[in-house]
Structure 1
């Protein structure tokens, strides 16, 4: 049996599934006035979680850090994609080059979608927490871009799901199991120190996530009077 090591810490895994649930909820609640308050609240919390993930990409364990999957140049990304198409897995415990592209793209789209949502107004029922601070032209632009970015995010998520299905069923890579258990094939790599399952990493993530989520909701949801 292939050796496995701790790769994905609880905060990467929890964040992954929270984003899945959050994006799904946003898609079904965005067009319903009855759920607009919940839609906005979840949007603020999603933005807060992405801010935490950005920080975690700096202070988290080895494979959570952006330094372990820096943004690939077009040549490296295309080579990684070709490997996927010919069913040749990249033997790395963390994100492959094309997987890293997906991470950066999804995080960027979530932030932009959240920011435009918080800057939007329909002039009737909803004003985002940032709308009162911005010029009318900016609010109008944000209101136009928000549904476009939301649709684009849904498309990218769909492509991501298709890619995951390909990796799991055709390339036989344990990606879903890895995101559930945190363990992945080692490929002769070390888990790093402190490793993803250590108490130090758990406490570091708990404290920093609570601070960032608290500040995000406190500023956008309470201080700005939304």
Structure 2
């Protein structure tokens, strides 16, 4: 008599329908990401609308919004989670001089690779600090131009800081692209999703989603208020034909100034 052996029961892990999930951990909270992308949006829009009568209100509104977002980011850097605090950024910046001396003393490709890797995060911190710092003179000079506190030289100062900030932003993007190629991993993805693959504890334990939703709500409310409070654009006037017509920033010169 032939005995038959029952086939072994398949374990859940051996089921073809079972999908393995790659573990991830949160490294950037939602509020930090929201502030980051709104700042990028406002600067891009303000730079593209810097010239022209038609877009002057948009340019000014986006400039004010950018300044407000920087203030919010600085406050978040004081009261927010530890990874995004200004104290962490400051400690990274303090390591730049020593890293620069080490980089200058490199004599071999192997040593260059070992020195360059820790400096990548330092350069990213430097770009972030420069972006936050440059918004201050950019906004102040733009505010002065808007209120006609200076002449053409002040417009040139405002343009200088705008172009300088653009160079820093482009350097920041280029560094991200270079690191993505070298590390074979999208370095900008954590600022979109907030997470990176891999096991381990979350660097940002809380996502602060409610606060992140409040940020664009405040921005939209400010835009609506700015739009409703703006004076109507003058019709049928030419700034080059009338002395009292508004200039490129919408300023009306009602007084006559002596040459």
Say whether the fold is shared (TM-score over 0.5). Answer: yes
Partner of 1:86: 113
Give 1:47 shift. 0.5
Is 1:72 aligned with 2:79? no
Gaps of 5+ in 2: 1-20, 105-109, 230-249, 251-259
Is 1:7 aligned with 2:27? yes
1:30-72 Cα offsets, whole Å, 9 max, x none, are 0121100110001001110010000000111121111222251
Q: Are the counterparts in 2 of residues 48 and 213 from structure 1 also a CA contact under 8 Å?
A: no
Partner of 1:202: 209
The aligned runs of 1:54-69 (5 Å cut-off) are 54-69=74-89
Give 1:118 shift. 1.2
Change (3 A) 1:77 1:40: farther
* Candidates 163, 182, 186, aligned match of 1:174: 186
Q: Are the counterparts in 2 of residues 49 and 213 from structure 1 also a CA contact under 8 Å?
A: no
- Highest CA radius of gyration, 1 or 2? 2
Structure 2: distance between partners of 1:9 and 1:35: 34
Is 1:38 aligned with 2:58? yes
Larger helix share, 1 or 2 = 1
Give 1:213 shift. 9.1
Q: Are the counterparts in 2 of residues 44 and 217 from structure 1 also a CA contact under 8 Å?
A: no
1:77-129 Cα offsets, whole Å, 9 max, x none, are 5379789x7385449xxx92221111110111122212211111xxxxxxx2x
TM superposition score normalised by structure 2 = 0.63
TM superposition score normalised by structure 1 = 0.71
Structure 2: distance between partners of 1:205 and 1:189: 22
Secondary structure of the residue aligned to 2:196 is: strand
Change (3 A) 1:212 1:60: farther
Partner of 1:104: 129
Secondary structure of the residue aligned to 1:170 is: helix
Aligned residues: 201
Structure 2: distance between partners of 1:16 and 1:213: 16
Partner of 1:50: 70
Q: Are the counterparts in 1 of residues 34 and 215 from structure 2 also a CA contact under 8 Å?
A: no
Q: Are the counterparts in 1 of residues 65 and 219 from structure 2 also a CA contact under 8 Å?
A: no
Gaps of 5+ in 1: 121-127
Give 1:163 shift. 0.7
Give 1:19 shift. 2.0
